[in-house]
Amino acid sequence: MGAIEKIQCNNCEKSWELLTGMGKRHASLANISELYPADVAEQLTKYEEMPGVRFQFAMTPAKCETCKAFVSVPVVFVKTDEKKYTGVCPECGKSVQTFACVERCKCPECNEKKLFINKIGRWD
């Protein structure tokens, strides 16, 4: 089950709502591959055909410098060959930086480090 998380800036009051974690449909690499650009999707589809392939998936918060926004991107770690595939910004299609701790990030709107994150719900 995934979480709905709200990132809010204490300085400029801007906020972003993100879907994080994984849903039921993400148990399949075929479904996950639909979240990626064509070249990565093709690679993921190849894994789908490998017997006993093991992977870990999560929608992960990321900061898009182009859109000046927080977005949620797919990250899949394929354990079988130790490779990690991070998705692109759903708005502009550029690559983004995921982060472990939002409190250490600067607000894309006002550039202050006054962000906090709250779980506000669940999805799937």
Cα 43–Cα 45–Cα 51 angle in degrees, nearest 5:
110
Q: Quick one: 30 or 116, whose CB is closer to Zn ion?
A: 116
Touching Zn ion, residues 58-97 (CB under 5 A): 64, 66-67, 89, 91-92
Residue from 2, 5, 8, 9 binding Zn ion (CB under 5 A): 9
CA separation for the pair 32, 75 (Å, rounded): 9
Least distance to Zn ion, CB of residue 64, Å: 3
**Interface with Zn ion, residue 98, by CB under 5 A:** no
- Rounded to whole angstroms, what are the CA distances from 75 to 14, 40, 47, 61, 113? 25, 12, 15, 10, 25
The region of 2-10, 15-23, 32-40, 46-54 touching Zn ion under the rule CB under 5 A is 2-10
CA separation for the pair 106, 11 (Å, rounded): 11
Would you tell me which residues interact with Zn ion (CB under 5 A)? 9, 11-12, 64, 66-67, 89, 91-92, 107, 109-110
